[in-house]
Amino acid sequence: MPRALIVDDEEDIRMLIRLTIEIANEGLAVAGEAANGEEAIDRWREEQPEVVVLDYRMPGMTGLEVAERILAEDPEQPIILFSAYVDAETSAAARRLGIRECMPKADYDQLPDALWRHSASA
Amino acid sequence: MAPLRQRLSSTRVALLGALGVATLAAALSILVAGSEDRQAERDQRRAAASSGVAFDSALAELDRTVEAGPRLADVPEPELVSSGIVAVGRVPLDGSDPDPQSASLARGQLPAGLSLATLVERSRSALELARDTGQPLSGAPVSGHVLVATPDYGNGQAPRTTLGRRAGLQSWVVYVIATPRLLTKIGETDFAQVSLVIGGREVTGSPVNEPAVEHAETFLGQTWVLRLPVHGEPGPGAAAWAVALMGAIGAAATVAIGIRDGRMLAETVAATSALERETRAVAELGPLLQQKLDLGEVLPAVAVRLSDEFDLEHFGVELVGEDGGFVDAFAMGRRSPEGSVDVGQAGSRETVRAGVEFAVPLLRAGRIIGRLRMTSRQPLSATQLDTLRAAADLIAVATYNVELYEREQANVQRLTELDRLKDGFLGTISHELRTPITAIGGFVQLLRRQWVRLSDSERLEFLERVQRNTTSLGFLVDDLLDFARLDRHALGITPTSLDISDAVSAIVEQLTPLLGDHRVTLDVKRGVHGLADNRALERVVANLLTNAAKFSPVQSEICVSLEGDAQWVTMAVSDEGPGISPAERGRVFQRFYRGDGDAARSTRGAGIGLSVVHELVTQMGGSIDVEGREPHGTRMVVRLQAQPRTGVRLPEQGPSRVETRST
């Protein structure tokens, strides 16, 4: 049962993602939530989720920095970068780091499909 | 020239004429008798030409040896000697005596009375110019010896700027060229006299008269001229001798008379050539000043050039500062404690005595933009002062150009910075707008799709979230619009007399749910009235509160206080966050400014809120300040007028949610 770790500093967005995943009822579950980079890394180590859904703009560490730390420890960890504003430069940097996909926040309801796609390749 | 003209009276003219004819006759007979001497002369010319070639190659060899630069001390002694070098030394920066690098070379090779230290002392300006330009340069010849200075920067590479070269200089390697040796190298010469002139100064031999063959080379920053006289030898022949003797006697008389005149002529020639040199030096300043736009590099080079030509012991450039006073831009040598004498306008016949400090104004479009201060070891004539005024004009133009350039650079920098901030702004704005919109859309969609499956409390919760995000979005859009209007001063504020206590309390109440997990304390005195615009006040308080919430940790306290006296209403919003450093406090109200450091870098907010707040407060006739708190935190203090300055009480208009009170 693929589990996702949701990382976003906005509580409303975290709730939205969690509800979307649970209500989709496709056998996906939420492993946990984190509101910033430090929490995200701690929670990732504890929960070992199949996929990490990561916001780009957060106070303290940015999403890319969090991804870098996680991928340094486990280069195979599927990560989806989730952001309200993703430009060409950021997606290129993300791809170089090893992030699997960049999704705009507006497409949040396609998240369940994306999670399935990436957990299969885990 | 008047005395000379006096001497050219008619008797003298006749006498000279008669002697001249006699000499001419003698010369003609010599010519007739000496046709074979012309052949000899042609041979001599050819020999002179080949000596010229030898001269070139001697200088070329010297050039190659000199290329060793600071590593000259490592060049084997025989090579040095064959190039004409008789001493090598290292001159330290601290002004102590030079240290001979090659003891055997230094020993007994310099003429009596001339030491390496003396030569170094006399070539100070060449040392300084060599240091500044990174090139080997030669000094003025002394007793037929020329000192060449090579700057040594330590690791072999000269720094790229003059200031860098000055700082990076470790020592100089100097060596001495003995010109007699050089002349011997040129080869056995049949010539009675050979003249070597370096940089306009006679170095060896005596001045050579025409006819002569001249070879000129530029070497180590000066012109080296070798003059080889070519004269026919008088041929044998008794008749020719007799006539020649007559002519010789006549010539001797002419010469005797002429010597006195000649001496005066020589003096005039010397003065003219000095003037030529000085004028040339100033003319060279033109291209020098145009080359660079860095006064730090240009002024020292100019100083050295002028000091050399005019034998200055002090040279300073003053520029008019912002307060109208003179500020030193550059100074070399000692200033006189008694101050400078102003030398007046061009065309005045003033002169300056040796050792007196004088000043020449720097003028630009009729305005004085500075002064040149100078003290010369020689007295300066009116003509020389005119030449210095010409130099001052050039320097004035150069300085003005530099100032224009610097101002332009500053502008370019400001615009680049603004551009950079704007780019960050666009990215942030997009994010700030899309986040609440995503939340609103998301929860509305959930409600629509899952309505029947949701409980009542869940439905209510979702609706509250939608409302909260809508309010945030509203504020952000208002901020953006106000910000766009800032430039046009079209904020549409009409300050009236308000009950500020009520207005502020109401706003804080409405906003508290949006402030996340913070404790909000109200310390508002009741009934405080002041001059404000309702909508603007709402925007100001909303912005300050959301900033406080954004930049302080959850659970911390945000305090809103309000009080007033007869003059001012004072409102303060305080938080317990990290605070704003004193250095940044001046900048927080600038547009797009989001702070330096990690905390601000990724925090949301587009950097427009405070600039809008500042404008709104100012338009209401008030002021805003930033203070720090102990142990940490920020306190934003807004002051509004308690009553309109005109003294006329405006009709009261309370906020719509509170009943209108009568005055």
Q: What is the mean pLDDT of residues B421-429?
A: 73
Confidence class for position B557, pLDDT limits 50, 70, 90: very high
Q: What is the pLDDT of residues B488-534, one digit of tens each?
A: 666 677 888 889 999 999 989 888 887 878 889 999 998 889 999 88
Q: Which of B438, B459, B472, B518 best tests the A interface by mutation, with the highest count of A CBs <10 A?
A: B438
pLDDT at B253 over 80: no
- Indicate yes or no: CB of A85 within 8 angstroms of CB of B427: yes
Q: What is the pLDDT of residues B457-477, one digit of tens each?
A: 999 999 999 998 998 898 888
Q: What is the pLDDT of residues B583-598, one digit of tens each?
A: 888 778 877 666 655 4
Strand order in the sheet with B195-198: B201-204, B195-198, B222-229, B212-219
Q: Which residues of A touch B434 (CB under 8 A)?
A: 84-85, 105-106
pLDDT of residue B596: 54
pLDDT of residue B239: 53
Residue type at position A44: W
Q: From the list B438, B449, B468, which residue is nearest A105 (CB)?
A: B438
Q: From the list A20, A23, A58, which residue is nearest B602 (CB)?
A: A58
Strand order in the sheet with B326-333: B326-333, B312-320, B367-376, B357-364, B341-342
Distance CA B174, CA B152 (A): 10
Q: Give the distance from residue B300's alpha carbon to the nearest chain A alpha carbon, in angstroms.
A: 48
- ipTM, 2 decimals? 0.91
Distance CA B253, CA B241 (A): 18
The DSSP code for B125 is H
Residue type at position A46: E
Q: Which has more pLDDT, B118 or A75?
A: A75
Chain B residue nearest residue A110, CA to CA: B442
Distance CA A80, CA B75 (A): 69
- Indicate yes or no: CB of A84 within 8 angstroms of CB of B435: yes
pLDDT at B655 over 50: no
B42 and A CB contact within 8 Å: no
pTM score over 0.95? no
Q: What is the pLDDT of residues A6-64, one digit of tens each?
A: 999 888 999 999 999 988 877 889 999 998 888 999 999 999 999 999 998 887 788 88
The dihedrals phi and psi of B91, each to the nearest 5 degrees, come to -105, 120
Q: Which of A23, A38, A57 best tests the B interface by mutation, with the highest count of B CBs <10 A?
A: A57
CA angle B463, B469, B475 (to 5 degrees): 140
Q: Which residues of B touch A16 (CB under 8 A)?
A: 438-439, 442-443, 446
Sequence-distant (6+) residues with CB within 8 A of B84 are B58, B62, B177, B178, B179, B181, B182, B185
Share of chain B above pLDDT 70, in %: 75
Q: What is the mean pLDDT of residues B432-442?
A: 91
Using DSSP's 3-state secondary structure scheme, residue B376 falls into strand
The residue with tokens 């736009």 is B293
CB B181 within 8 A of CB B164: no
pLDDT of residue B652: 40
pLDDT of residue B657: 35
Burial B124-135 (b: 16+ CB within 10 A, else e): ebbbbbbbbbbe
Q: Give the distance from residue B611's alpha carbon to the nearest chain A alpha carbon, in angstroms.
A: 22
| Cβ count near B462 (within 10 Å) | 22
* Of residues B123, B124, B122, B151, the one with CA closest to residue B136: B151
Q: What is the pLDDT of residues B189-224, one digit of tens each?
A: 544 567 777 877 777 656 656 667 777 777 777 778
